Amino acid sequence: MIETKFEIENNTKDVKLYSSKAISGATFLGGPLAAGYLIGENFKAIDKPTEGRYSLIIGIISTIILFGGIFMIPENIIDKIPQQLIPIIYTGIIWGIVEWKQGDILKSHKEHNNSFFSGWRAAGIGFISLLILGIGIFSYAFLSTDNELYEKYDAKLAQFSKNENETLIFYDNLNTGTNYSLLKELDEKTIPKWKENIKIINKTNQFEGLPSELIKQNEILLKYSKLRVQAFELFRKAIKEDTDRYAQQLEQIHMQIDNELKKLN
């Protein structure tokens, strides 16, 4: 902000200003954003629009830095800080800035019995600033939670996909493996991993706030996984009995699997 001094006596008689007390009250309620706006309005009123714009910009930046810093403080530490302490600190800083940059002007304005905006008007601006801050904080918290949810979901689906890729190798081994090796593969890896996939999907269904599109996707994946278990258990039965009489049934299950996979595309 640029240093200002009024050398002409009572040069503010035709304008209304916000007092340092009103600015401090609005700041305590609405943070540096309210302060930047009100200080900027005072500068504009005394025909200093550049300083007015700078004040608002600084108020916005200060708000972002302040609340960004607060969000970075661990919860166990922030919980120990008295709720009023942070507003008191930044309000005191703003009061000092107002006295530094506009103190002489406001003092002269008061001595000449010129008009000030009411404290209620300043409080209203502070309240509007508080609403803006509330919306910003809520949006940040919502997006953070949303991102965290998707990250958790994607991590589970990555394991699902890994299990899927590792077990589908069974189809390549059908033509080369012995009955013993195929049964061992089914019992020790293939069937257990698809049962694990069922548990994975059931686990993700318990995530709070899961979006509807993921709920629908889970329904498909759950049915798909159960069909895979049916298919591999039927393969096991056919290999153990050394028969091909389950071929038609397996074909039907694989058709159902293909239908479920098409729904995911």
> Residue 116, SS3?
strand
What stretches of the chain adopt beta strand conformation (E)? Answer: none
Q: Tally the domains of the chain.
A: 2
- The band of 84, judged by pLDDT with boundaries at 50, 70 and 90, is confident
Residue 107 structural domain: 20-143
pLDDT by residue (tens digit) across 20-77? 999 999 999 999 999 999 999 999 999 999 999 999 999 999 998 988 888 777 767 7
Let me know whether 26 and 137 are in one domain.
Answer: yes
The string of pLDDT tens digits covering residues 4-16 is 444 447 778 889 9
Decide if 127 is inside a domain: yes
Is pTM beyond 0.75 here?
no
Same domain, 138 and 182: no
- Per DSSP, 17 falls in state B
CA-CA distances (angstroms) from residue 52 to 16, 48, 171, 219?
Answer: 15, 6, 72, 57
Say if 255 falls within a structural domain.
Answer: yes
**144-177: string of b/e by CB count within 10 Å (b at 16+)?**
eeeeebeeebeebbeebeebbeebeebeeeeeee
Whether 200 is covered by a domain: the verdict is: yes
Compute the average pLDDT of residues 186-194: 96
Is residue 15 situated within a structural domain?
no
Q: Six-digit token pair at 232?
A: 């591999």
Would you place residue 79 in the very low, low, confident or very high pLDDT band (cuts 50, 70, 90)? Answer: confident
